[in-house]
Amino acid sequence: MSNIIFDIKNIDKTYESTDKNRKDLKVIEDFSLKIRENEFLCIIGPSGCGKSTLLRILAGLEDFQMGEVLFRNKPLRGTGMERGMVFQSYSLMPWLNVRDNIGLGLKFKNMGKKEKDEIIDEHLDMINLTDFAYAYPSELSGGMQQRVAIARSLANNPEVILMDEPFGALDAHTRIQLQRELLRIWESHKKTIVFITHSVDEAIYLGDRIIMMSKDKGSIFKEVEVDLPRPRERSNSIYANLNEELLDDFEKLHGQ
């Protein structure tokens, strides 16, 4: 069995209201999940089910009240360079060009300029944006900006990449292109990826395993191992049947 990189044990997360007339909001209750090393895990579920909150907990950007999260068998404490985060909004620094955005995290590492430049050049080449090295975010398309955000995360050489609906704002064609690009990067680097999406099709295309969360305070409604060879063909009958099955489950969740 693969090594477990995250072991989430019975966690609770409640947002406490500052308004006396409003109740506290519990978004995750008694949630447990093991995430395998080098796994591409996709998490889907209705809006408000706690999936983005869960991702932020794994990133160390949110705390939780009960339970435990272990990273490589040690309690998770705050943020760390071993975990990279990619958001739906590209979160690039508008005053920095592409090179400087990619190299932003490298400033905090003890390495010389030549080594930093080599890492930046490698990642520019990886995302096919070498010709745009000195362009600014405002001069790039949405898909190009998201490539830069992914490269910035990878340049720090994290063990885990946490992705919160990174392709959700893109048009269908660009989204498919970046799905293929992300798989190519993942297969060559074999990072652990935890990927949040609303798209059942995207989860099947990308994931080794799919976790479907319910509306019920972050509980798991369904877990599926995606036993399909890569590269995956959307025209494959097994792919199509799984897509239909999960869409039916999604409809049931929205009807809860």
Does 25 reside within a domain?
A: no
What is the domain-level CATH number for residue 223? 3.40.50.300
In a domain, residue 29? The reply is: no
Does 5 fall in a domain? no
CA dihedral 48, 256, 64, 206 (to 10 degrees): -70
250: Cβ–Cβ under 8 A, 6 or more apart, which residues?
44, 46, 200, 212
pTM of the model: 0.91
Map residue 246 onto helix, strand or coil: helix
Contact 11, 69 (CB under 8 A): yes
**How much of the chain, in percent, has pLDDT values that exceed 90?**
64
Which is nearest to 192 in space by CA: 30, 12, 72, 63? Answer: 72
Report how far residue 158's alpha carbon sits from residue 223's, in angstroms, rounded to the nearest whole number. Answer: 26
Domain span at residue 151? 38-60+80-254
Domain total in the chain: 1
Which regions of the chain are under pLDDT 70?
A: 1-2, 217, 254-256
pLDDT at 1: 45
Residue 8 within any structural domain of the chain: no
**Amino acid 255: pLDDT:** 65
pLDDT of res. 21: 74
In whole angstroms, what is the distance from residue 247 CA to residue 254 CA? Answer: 11
Asked if the structure places residue 21 within a domain, the reply is no
Q: What is the pLDDT of residues 138-154, one digit of tens each?
A: 999 999 999 999 999 98
DSSP state of 3: P
How far apart are the C-alpha atoms of 184 and 175, rounded to whole Å? 14
Asked if 228 contacts 61 with a C-beta cutoff of 8 angstroms, the reply is no
Structural domain includes residue 145: yes
pLDDT at 256: 56
Does a structural domain hold residue 3?
A: no
Torsion-angle region of residue 20: left (phi > 0), alpha (psi -120 to 50) or beta?
alpha
Question: Is residue 9 in some structural domain?
Answer: no
CA dihedral 89, 189, 202, 81 (to 10 degrees): -40
Instruction: State what percent of residues in the chain have pLDDT above 70.
Output: 98
CA distance 42 to 24: 28
